[in-house]
Amino acid sequence: MKRTFEYNGLPAHVIFGYNTLDSVRAEVEKLGVKRAIVLTTPEFEDKGKQIADLLGSISAGVYPCAKMHTPVAVTEDAMEFFQARKADGTVAIGGGSTIGLGKAIALRTDCPQLVIPTTYAGSEMSPYLGQTEHGVKTTISSRKVLPETVVYDVALTHTLPPRFAAASGVNAIAHSAEALYAKNTNPVVNLMAAEGISMLHEALPKVVANPEDREGRFDALYGAWLCSIVQGQVSMALHHKICHALGGSFNLPHADIHANVLPHAIAYNSKAAVAAVETIANSIGNQNAALGLYNFNLEIGVYTSLKDLGMPESGIEVIVDQIMNTPYWNPRKMNRGALTKLLQRVWLGEPPKYDPDQ
Ligand code: NAD
């Protein structure tokens, strides 16, 4: 255990449970908001209207155009809507794409946010915002984008299709896996990260087998919340760097990228972060953390390859260049040769392997 560390508790008021939406109007009022716009993706517009109905006289309308990877052009359009409706706060209902749009508006206005997460992506507890412009995704960290209130309603996650729930759940596991070896990790983060990984590892097969499994859905969202907290409290490393580069450059599906890259990032770091990788292995009950996660992807049906997700093979070099040009801190130094081999394997969908530096 680290004996000298920093701890960064982030403020957020959280309501967690089944059928919690009745609390939304009172919670928005507690934030002092008089006119809230509701944010959704186009597919979730009906849910947005339901929230606008619950808000009643303090609703300033629904903006249903959130998009994955937070394109700046969408944010600018949403800002016009926000200003035209004289809004002073946002309610985002949806996954990371919708929450990202709320954060982007908060960055520009410092308005209060209430967030209702409906996937396991975990943006809600973090001060991070990734924005995409001209094919490049850049990430900033600012307390301004941290949502003030988060309402988790497990019932909303029952409609998550099993395959997407599985990929999104591994996205959450990835937050905890990297938190265990983050430069600024600490014993409290380690506790939550290990518990988050193990809850999701137990719950996701149940959710995939039976989308109506209440216990599985509860545990999956609870595990995702833990992973979301730890992600917000520590810095990110190789795995997140690769995923940000892939998402921004090739507009690939966020959750799938995370699920498929994670076993390889763990293999890459396995000799430089031995204790962290051992904790991951214990949390999934498999002595080989990287291979165990790869097989878990197969078991829950999210195994794929970057090739099948639509990335051209020439993209491997583009991604390696991005990683080498603007690296994140990582327990093992970024090595061009080993990273190229790693990405070739993810592109082909092959099992993870440790490559020495070259
Ligand atoms: P998403 O928000 O794009 O959602 C994917 C699809 O699922 C959408 O069509 C959405 O409408 C639908 N959906 C959402 N919840 C549903 C439900 N309960 N039932 C049925 N359909 C549902 O996907 P995501 O993976 O949650 O988020 C990805 C985005 O989040 C990326 O842009 C990523 O960069 C960002 N993200 C940011 C952070 C951070 O800390 N800043 C963390 C994680 C993800």
Partnered with residue 139 across adjacent β-strands are 130
pLDDT score at 135: 83
Instruction: Indicate whether 308 belongs to any domain.
Output: yes
Identify the H or E element spanning 39: strand 36-39
* Ligand 1 atom nearest to 156, measured from its CA: 18
Q: 50 and 32 share a domain?
A: yes
Q: 148 and 173 share a domain?
A: no
Which of 123, 142, 156, 170 should be mutated for ligand 1, with most atoms under 8 A from CB?
123
Say what the pTM is.
0.97
Question: What is the 3-class SS of 235-250, one letter each residue?
Answer: CCCHHHHHHHHHHHHH
Joined together, the tokens standing for residue 218 give 């509860």
Q: 312 and 184 share a domain?
A: yes
Burial class (CB in 10 A: 0-12, 13-18, 19+), 323: buried
pLDDT score at 50: 98
Neighbouring CB atoms inside 10 A of 202's CB total 17
Tokens 């800002």 label which residue?
A: 79
Q: 91 and 206 share a domain?
A: no
Selection from 56, 54, 115, 259 nearest residue 175 by Cα: 259
pLDDT score at 158: 97
**Residue 118: CATH number of its domain:** 3.40.50.1970
Joined together, the tokens standing for residue 255 give 């959750």
pLDDT score at 3: 85
Give the residue from 158, 178, 209 where a domain finishes. Answer: 158
Give the residue from 158, 186, 212 where a domain finishes. Answer: 158
- Total number of domains in the chain: 2
* Ligand 1 atom nearest to 42, measured from its CA: 11
Give the residue from 91, 126, 158 where a domain finishes. Answer: 158
Distance CA 267, CA 117 (A): 31
Q: 320 and 194 share a domain?
A: yes
Instruction: Indicate whether 51 belongs to any domain.
Output: yes
Distance 199 CA to ligand 1 centre (A): 20
Nearest Cα residue to atom 20 of ligand 1:
160
Distance 336 CA to ligand 1 centre (A): 31
Concatenate the DSSP letters of all residues of 288-316 into one string: -HHHHHHHHHHHHT----TTTTT--TTHH
Q: 116 and 199 share a domain?
A: no
Indicate if ligand 1 lies below 6 Å from the C-beta of 69: yes
Instruction: Indicate whether 5 belongs to any domain.
Output: no
Which of 105, 153, 176, 254 should be mutated for ligand 1, with most atoms under 8 A from CB?
254
Distance CA 268, CA 265 (A): 5
Q: 58 and 204 share a domain?
A: no
**Residue 309: CATH number of its domain:** 1.20.1090.10
Indicate if ligand 1 lies below 6 Å from the C-beta of 25: no
* Ligand 1 atom nearest to 125, measured from its CA: 40
pLDDT score at 8: 87
Indicate if ligand 1 lies below 6 Å from the C-beta of 44: yes
Q: 83 and 190 share a domain?
A: no
Instruction: Indicate whether 356 belongs to any domain.
Output: no
Q: 144 and 283 share a domain?
A: no
Q: 154 and 172 share a domain?
A: no
Q: 126 and 196 share a domain?
A: no
Instruction: Indicate whether 29 belongs to any domain.
Output: yes
Q: 187 and 243 share a domain?
A: yes
* Ligand 1 atom nearest to 164, measured from its CA: 7
Q: What are phi and psi of 62, to 5 degrees?
A: -110, 130
Instruction: Indicate whether 333 belongs to any domain.
Output: yes
Joined together, the tokens standing for residue 179 give 């938190």
Instruction: Indicate whether 353 belongs to any domain.
Output: no
The tens-digit pLDDT sequence of the chain (358 residues) is: 778 999 989 989 999 999 999 999 999 999 999 999 999 999 999 999 999 999 999 999 999 999 999 999 999 999 999 999 999 999 999 999 999 999 999 999 999 999 999 999 999 999 999 999 998 888 899 999 999 999 999 999 999 999 999 999 999 999 999 999 999 999 999 999 999 999 999 999 999 999 999 999 999 999 999 999 999 999 999 999 999 999 889 989 999 999 999 999 999 999 999 999 999 999 999 999 999 999 999 999 998 999 999 999 999 999 999 999 999 999 999 999 999 999 999 999 999 999 999 7
Tokens 């999934």 label which residue?
A: 284
Indicate if ligand 1 lies below 6 Å from the C-beta of 128: yes
Which 3 state secondary structure label does DSSP give 63?
strand
Instruction: Indicate whether 355 belongs to any domain.
Output: no
Helix axes 162-180, 254-269, angle to 10 degrees: 30
Structural domain harbouring 220: 165-348
